[in-house]
Amino acid sequence: MTRRTVARTLMYASLIAATVVVLLPPAAVVLTSLKSEREMANGSGALALPEDLLNLSNYATAFQDGRMLPAFANTAVILLLAIGGTVLIGSMTAYAIDRFTFRFKKPVVALFLVAALVPGVTTQVATFQIVNSLGMFDSIWAPVVLYMGTDIVSIYIFLQFVRSIPVSLDEAARLDGANAFTIYRRIIFPLLKPAIATVVIVKGITTYNDFYIPFLYMPSEDLGVISTSLFRFKGPFGAHWETISAGAVLVILPTLIVFLFLQRFIYNGFTKGATR
């Protein structure tokens, strides 16, 4: 065997091993979700095939007893408000940083970077006190405000795209009598579509999968989102792993479908932002 053949063999072997490692856990979850309580009690392995591959009773139990429908509704409301606010705040902030000249501009940008590097857990005590003092604890506005106000990465994504827009467009608009907000609304914002698509997808998936903020700031069962509703299976269904697995599949499916259809926007957005 030549050196090139050995290298290619090792490459494919490593890819196959990585694929197996990645796919085994979701495969085990899907197979477990199709098993009956009797099969689980008999101690069948996680990767053992279920007796009935069309057994969807666990999904019905997870959807009804896990209050998945209200959880999906709460998640959708939080997603719409948080993503909309993030896009507006991020794009406006990036526009102001790049186009306006003001004192301490560089320190402000540096502080944004520092804030992005600080772990969010280290500031949770102060954040919780602020949210509680504003009367937003145990309300849907707590996660919405936190998601909108703590996304520094979105600002940097928008900033890379704003810097690629020629300043001559702003100057031409000013000659026509446009003010700063009109320039942003009619020129800058429409040209940020690739960045907006990237932020919407990444922010949406991150918000959808987040467990910590909804669990901490919305303890009421009526305000449960997808992630916290799945966690509540730990109580009445603590030993019923087939039901827990069915709930996990229901939670995973939406993000998986969105990612499969929109993954090119994610890759293109990050690639264009990095090369601008």
Q: How many residues does the chain have?
A: 276
- Provide the pLDDT for residue 15: 92
The CATH number of the domain covering residues in 71-275? 1.10.3720.10
Provide the pLDDT confidence category of residue 202 given band limits of 50, 70 and 90.
confident
Domain boundaries, the chain: 3-55, 71-275
* 110-118, Cβ contacts within 8 angstroms, sequence gap of 24 or more: 112/152, 112/155, 112/156, 113/152, 115/152, 116/152, 116/153, 116/156
Q: In Å, how far are 85, 115, 147 from 192, measured between CA atoms?
A: 15, 24, 21
pLDDT, tens digit, 9 for 90 and up, residues 114-155? 877 777 777 888 889 999 999 999 999 999 999 987 778 888
Tell me the mean pLDDT in the region 246-259. Answer: 84
Asked whether residue 80 carries a pLDDT value surpassing 80, the answer given is yes
Query: What distance in Å separates the CA atoms of residue 118 and residue 145, rounded to the nearest whole number?
Result: 19
Residue with tokens 């100057």: 171
Relative orientation angle of helices 68-99 and 152-162, to the nearest 10 degrees? 50
pTM, 2 dp: 0.79
- Provide the pLDDT for residue 107: 86
- Provide the pLDDT for residue 79: 93
Provide the pLDDT confidence category of residue 266 given band limits of 50, 70 and 90.
low
Provide the pLDDT confidence category of residue 274 given band limits of 50, 70 and 90.
very low
- Provide the pLDDT for residue 231: 75
Asked whether residue 82 carries a pLDDT value surpassing 90, the answer given is yes
Pick from 154, 152, 200, 162: which is nearest to 183 by CA? 162
CA angle 142, 145, 151 (to 5 degrees): 130
- Non-local (6+) Cβ contacts of 216 within 8 A are 124, 128
- Provide the pLDDT for residue 140: 92
Relative orientation angle of helices 193-209 and 241-275, to the nearest 10 degrees? 150
